């Protein structure tokens, strides 16, 4: 299995088959002044749409199954998981799988660069996984 790319964007058009359109790739979000002094672990709502999109390709027959995965939000510095969600990657009927999820809130741990990690069980141990960074400024 191969990780192709992982991005954060403000719009996604993903028809059931065919190409995908991503608009306004995002790398930074300005935090409103009232949230700059928020206590650690405050949940901040994201006003503008924010989507994480990750594309994976099954390269071998052994990849053509359902794989367990995780979406993790890492604190600035990458030393702490702020949020973790279980995922399911189903390659039984496709070679290319796209994970698309709307991000509506972020657990605040201070200003800095947050990373979204997309990991696939029994694959991430080999050293390749999806990552998208979001800098809160």
Q: Output the tens digit of pLDDT for each of the chain's 137 residues.
A: 888 888 888 888 877 777 888 888 887 776 666 666 777 778 877 777 789 999 899 999 988 999 888 898 888 888 899 999 999 999 999 999 988 999 988 888 888 888 888 888 765 454 456 777 767 65
pTM of this prediction? 0.81
Give the C-alpha distances (Å, rounded to integers) separating 108 from 42, 69, 83, 102, 134.
5, 24, 11, 17, 12
Domain spanning 2-136: CATH superfamily: Immunoglobulins (2.60.40.10)
Q: What is the pLDDT of residue 2?
A: 87
Nearest to residue 14, comparing CAs of 113, 94, 129? 94
In the block, tokens 């991503």 appear at: 22
What is the C-alpha separation between 61 and 1, in angstroms, rounded? 9
């Amino acid at each position: 299995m191969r990780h192709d790319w992982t991005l954060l964007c403000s719009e996604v058009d993903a028809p059931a088959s065919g190409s995908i359109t991503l608009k306004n790739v995002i790398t930074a979000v300005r935090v409103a002044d009232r949230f700059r002094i928020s206590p650690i672990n405050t949940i901040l709502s994201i006003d503008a749409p924010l989507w994480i999109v990750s594309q994976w390709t099954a390269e071998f027959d052994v990849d053509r199954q359902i794989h367990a995965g995780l979406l993790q939000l890492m604190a600035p510095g990458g030393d702490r998981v702020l949020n973790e969600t279980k995922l399911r990657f189903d390659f039984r009927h496709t070679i290319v799988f796209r994970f698309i999820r709307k991000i509506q809130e972020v657990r605040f741990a201070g200003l800095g660069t947050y990373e979204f990690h997309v990991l696939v069980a029994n694959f991430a141990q080999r050293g390749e996984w999806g990552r998208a960074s979001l800098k809160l400024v």
